[in-house]
Amino acid sequence: MKTPSGIDDITITAPEDLAVSRSRELSDLIIHFAPQQKIDEFYKWLKEFLQFSNDHPRNKEIRDLLAKSLKETIRLFGERKAFADMLYVLDELFSLYSKNFEFESLSEILAEAYAVAIFYLRGSWDVEGTSTLLKRLRALLQKHPKNDKIAVQYAKSYSDAINRFCSDRHNFTCDKLLFELRMFANKTKDNEAIQYEFAQALTSVIGTFAREERFEELERVLNELRQIASRFPKSEKIQLLLTRGTILSSLAENRSD
């Protein structure tokens, strides 16, 4: 097929085809081989990948490959405790989303990336950084209020944060996170996945209350956990959390005897 200029159409699409092919290779390199490579090597791949994305901004395959690769890179840097690099890559993913926010699948990838970053960032005791990411995730959920996948990642992120910041001391951050997750969970009582994450958070708090012998608060939270379990009697994961919470509670009572 000839274009109006007389140039074969294939010569126009060939550079994009090559970019797609190379993007597939880069995605494989980043996902499967980056853990064994130096960080400098990864950045070479990322620079090349970003250039393809900039050159072909409407190519869905390049965009999706880049988004998934960035998400996996966030996990990689989290495992290495390279938090500055992890947050840099997260910003790159957010930039990609900002240019293509109409695509729901990209929003879901970003939500999962936030959740992954929060999971690893808790290892640094970075309260401020965690709070910032939770706010960004909340804003994303507000843009997609009916997306269950984003909602579950939101709940999971709170559960992970609570597990960390409520683990060994009573503080404002713990109370705030638990209150915000409780408010969200109360609006989504029929969503088993969200209720499971809330139950996880409650179990973490029960462990803290048990160690500190805060019996009144302990009983109140344990009752919340019982209510969740009663709504989902067939959920083995939630029932196991109730069992664990009950055992933790009984240990605290035994110490008080």
pLDDT of residue 4: 40
> Is residue 132 domain-shared with residue 96, that is, in the same domain?
no
Domain, as residue range, for 141? 125-257
* CATH code assigned at 134: 1.25.40
pLDDT of residue 168: 59
> Is residue 162 domain-shared with residue 96, that is, in the same domain?
no
Is residue 117 situated within a structural domain? no
DSSP state letter for 232 = -
What residues pair up with 8 in beta bridges, in sequence order?
Answer: 2
> Is residue 134 domain-shared with residue 36, that is, in the same domain?
no
Is residue 176 situated within a structural domain? yes
In this structure, the chain runs to a length of 257
Q: What is the tally of structural domains in the chain? A: 2
pLDDT of residue 158: 96
Which residue positions in the chain have pLDDT lower than 70? 1-13, 34-35, 123-125, 168-171, 252-257
pLDDT of residue 256: 54
- H/E stretch holding 185 reads helix 172-187
Cα 77 to the chain's mean position, in Å? 14
Token readout for 120 is 């690893």
Q: Report the candidate in 148, 161, 91, 149 with the shortest Cα–Cα distance to residue 120.
A: 161
> Is residue 42 domain-shared with residue 139, that is, in the same domain?
no
Distance CA 2, CA 5 (A): 8
What type of residue sits at position 217?
E
Is residue 190 situated within a structural domain? yes
pLDDT of residue 236: 97
Average pLDDT, the chain: 87
> Is residue 141 domain-shared with residue 195, that is, in the same domain?
yes
Is residue 65 situated within a structural domain? yes
Burial of 118 (0-12, 13-18, 19+ CB in 10 A): buried
Is residue 139 situated within a structural domain? yes
What's the pTM value of the predicted model, to 2 decimals? Answer: 0.86
pLDDT of residue 23: 93
Is residue 95 situated within a structural domain? yes
pLDDT of residue 124: 67
Is residue 114 situated within a structural domain? no
> Is residue 70 domain-shared with residue 180, that is, in the same domain?
no
Is residue 109 situated within a structural domain? no
Plot region of 208 (φ>0 → left; ψ -120 to 50 → alpha; else → beta): alpha
For the segment 62-71, what is each residue's pLDDT rounded down to a tens digit? 999 999 999 9
> Is residue 129 domain-shared with residue 95, that is, in the same domain?
no
Which residue is it, tokens 């965690």? 130
